[in-house]
Amino acid sequence: MWLVMLLPFLAVPNGLAIPVAGVSIRVDQLAACILVVPLTASVLIGARRIRLDSTMGWLAAILAMNLVATALNSPAPLYSVLQCVSLVSVWLMYVLVVNFLDTREVMDAFLRRWLWAAIAGSVIGIGAFVLASFGVDLGGAEVSQAAAERLTKAFGAYGVMVEPNIFGSFTAAALVASIVLLAGLPRDGSATKELRLAAWTAGISAVGLVLSFTRAAWLGTVLALAYCLGAAGRAWAGEGRRRGVGKALAVVAVVIVVLLLAPGNAANLFRFKLLNLVNLQSQTAVVRLLTYSIALDQTTAHPIIGWGTYTFAPLVAEGNDFQQFENWRNLWIGDFGLLALHDTGVIGLGLWCGMLWSVLARGVRTVNSLRAMDARTTLHVVALVGAVISLLIPFLTTTGFSLGYPWLVIGLLGAHARLAATEPGLPEPAPASPAALPLPADAT
């Protein structure tokens, strides 16, 4: 269990990789592969029963579709198969979390570890940005004039993560979850430590989110918060709750005002991105649309089954060794929906949509099951649903589902759903849709 509890921290440095047998593997992937051994062993000796759910079924179908498309159409079959293996090692985190987290106490502890990991990852990114802004460039932030004025690279903080977009989506999920906790936790002294942790997470991740300079993550945060807090209605309208949420939002406001009024490249770019929040004619949007148009043009050749796993770069190289090109890793489709369509066709895209819908629908059903019996756990589930929703918008501009941290959040949500469905005495959950998230009127 100690290694399971380390997964939130191991998922943070996803921009760092370890060379193993000629390939690069991240530490969370390595931990996931190691954890498969005790899980398998405990199942074989009868000490544990493997727990399967609908999300795992969807993921298995998506993997099968990737393998079929790779076998039939990939211009680089070995590369595509290796990428399938990489995806499996990431998706294993969902299986591991659902199977190892088998009590409410363990799930709550895992949630706390995730919030601490969010604080740690945010602090690293913020520190890197501040140091780089003062001329001490240790990595972890891009603040160059070329990146700010000509957008040659993604400007912003990223710490030990892949890029600012990934850092932005990571901090967005943490901010949404922590604000939901701040809004719903009781102020009677029974949740003092949890409130303090949520407040620190909200404040620090808010600064990290702004310094990521990621418009999609900003939008995802706003939409997810509007969804969760709007659905709460009067249940979380107490003075103490408004004050807690107000403090977190005040931190965001202060950082925004400072960047709006400050001189320099960072402030200029921030003002540009804020004014062009949904401008499809901005320079970065034009580059993305060009990439997407190329991907769609390639998709027309195999619209039903797709080209195979991560075949965009080999196709652009037109038969050349694409891995010899400088920055060849930038030849990718930064949209999880379009990536699914390109790699696995209409069938694969349908499977992805079904999987994401099932994740959110199961979360809502869990809220329905628990709201009359366990207000604290219900609040945790709502926070996790909000975190997942916040990822969907930024992942339309970067493919974060190939990394481990979203699957830990989805896995924790799946663990709550699995336990709620098996606990004795709980009412049969009513059918639910992610479009309407019912929240407990007695959340206190």
Least confident window among 36-45, 54-63, 238-247, 406-415: 238-247
Does residue 126 form part of some domain?
yes
Mean pLDDT confidence for 276-301: 70
Query: What does the pLDDT read at residue 261?
Result: 60
Cβ-contact 418, 356 below 8 angstroms: no
Q: How far is it, in rounded angstroms, from Cα 385 to Cα 169? A: 15
Q: How far is it, in rounded angstroms, from Cα 135 to Cα 196? A: 34
Residue 78: is its pLDDT beyond 60?
A: yes
Query: What does the pLDDT read at residue 356?
Result: 95
Across 272-281, b (16+ Cβ under 10 Å) vs e yields bbeeeeeeee
Question: For the chain, how many structural domains are there in total?
Answer: 1
pLDDT band at 244 (very low <50, low <70, confident <90, very high): low
Boundaries of domain holding 266: 2-281+330-422
| Residue 113, token pair as written in the block | 């570890």
Kindly report, residue by residue over 395-409, the tens digit of the pLDDT. Answer: 988 888 999 999 999
Q: Which residues pair with 53 in a beta bridge?
A: none
Mean pLDDT confidence for 307-318: 85
Does residue 305 form part of some domain?
no
Residue 429: is its pLDDT beyond 50?
A: no
Q: Who has greater pLDDT, 40 or 320?
A: 40
Residue 116: is its pLDDT beyond 90?
A: yes
Does residue 312 form part of some domain?
no
Does residue 297 form part of some domain?
no
Least confident window among 44-53, 160-169, 221-230, 233-242: 233-242
Does residue 241 form part of some domain?
yes
Share of the chain above pLDDT 70, in %: 77
pLDDT band at 67 (very low <50, low <70, confident <90, very high): very high
Task: Map the chain to HEC letters.
Answer: CHHHHHHHHHCCCCCCCEEECCEEECHHHHHHHHHHHHHHHHHHCCCCCCCCCHHHHHHHHHHHHHHHHHHHHCCCHHHHHHHHHHHHHHHHHHHHHHHHCCCHHHHHHHHHHHHHHHHHHHHHHHHHHHHHHCCCCCCCEECCHHHHHCCCCCCEECCCCCCHHHHHHHHHHHHHHHHHHHHHCCCCCCCHHHHHHHHHHHHHHHHHHHHCCCHHHHHHHHHHHHHHHHHHHHHHCCHHHHHHHHHHHHHHHHHHHHHHHCCCHHHHHHHHHHHCCCCCCCHHHHHHHHHHHHHHHHHCCCCCCCCCCCCHHHHHHCCCCHHHCCCHHHCCCCCHHHHHHHHHHHHHHHHHHHHHHHHHHHHHHHHHHHCCCCHHHHHHHHHHHHHHHHHHCHHHCCCHHHCCHHHHHHHHHHHHHHHHHHCCCCCCCCCCCCCCCCCCCCCC
| Residue 391, token pair as written in the block | 């990822």
Query: What does the pLDDT read at residue 174?
Result: 96
Q: How far is it, in rounded angstroms, from Cα 135 to Cα 329? A: 28
Mean pLDDT confidence for 292-301: 87
Residue 20: is its pLDDT beyond 50?
A: yes
Kindly report, residue by residue over 164-215, the tens digit of the pLDDT. Answer: 999 999 999 999 999 989 888 887 788 889 999 999 999 899 989 988 888 8
Q: Tell me what the pLDDT averaged over the chain comes to.
A: 83
Give the closest residue to 387 by CA, choosing from 198, 207, 237, 234: 198
Query: What does the pLDDT read at residue 173?
Result: 96
59-68, 190-199, 369-378: which has the highest mean pLDDT?
59-68
Query: What does the pLDDT read at residue 353?
Result: 94
Q: How far is it, in rounded angstroms, from Cα 152 to Cα 285? A: 13
Q: How far is it, in rounded angstroms, from Cα 332 to Cα 107? A: 35
Query: What does the pLDDT read at residue 150?
Result: 63
pLDDT band at 108 (very low <50, low <70, confident <90, very high): very high
Residue 80: is its pLDDT beyond 50?
A: yes
Does residue 294 form part of some domain?
no
Query: What does the pLDDT read at residue 319?
Result: 56
Q: Who has greater pLDDT, 133 or 110?
A: 110
Query: What does the pLDDT read at residue 151?
Result: 61
pLDDT band at 251 (very low <50, low <70, confident <90, very high): low
What residues contact 85, with CB distance under 8 A and at least 6 apart? none
pTM for the whole structure: 0.86
Mean pLDDT confidence for 220-243: 66
> Angle CA(214)–CA(217)–CA(220) in degrees, nearest 5?
150
pLDDT band at 24 (very low <50, low <70, confident <90, very high): confident
Residue 283: is its pLDDT beyond 80?
A: no
Residue 148: is its pLDDT beyond 70?
A: no
Does residue 309 form part of some domain?
no
Mean pLDDT confidence for 220-246: 65
Cβ-contact 141, 158 below 8 angstroms: yes
Mean pLDDT confidence for 217-225: 88
Does residue 298 form part of some domain?
no
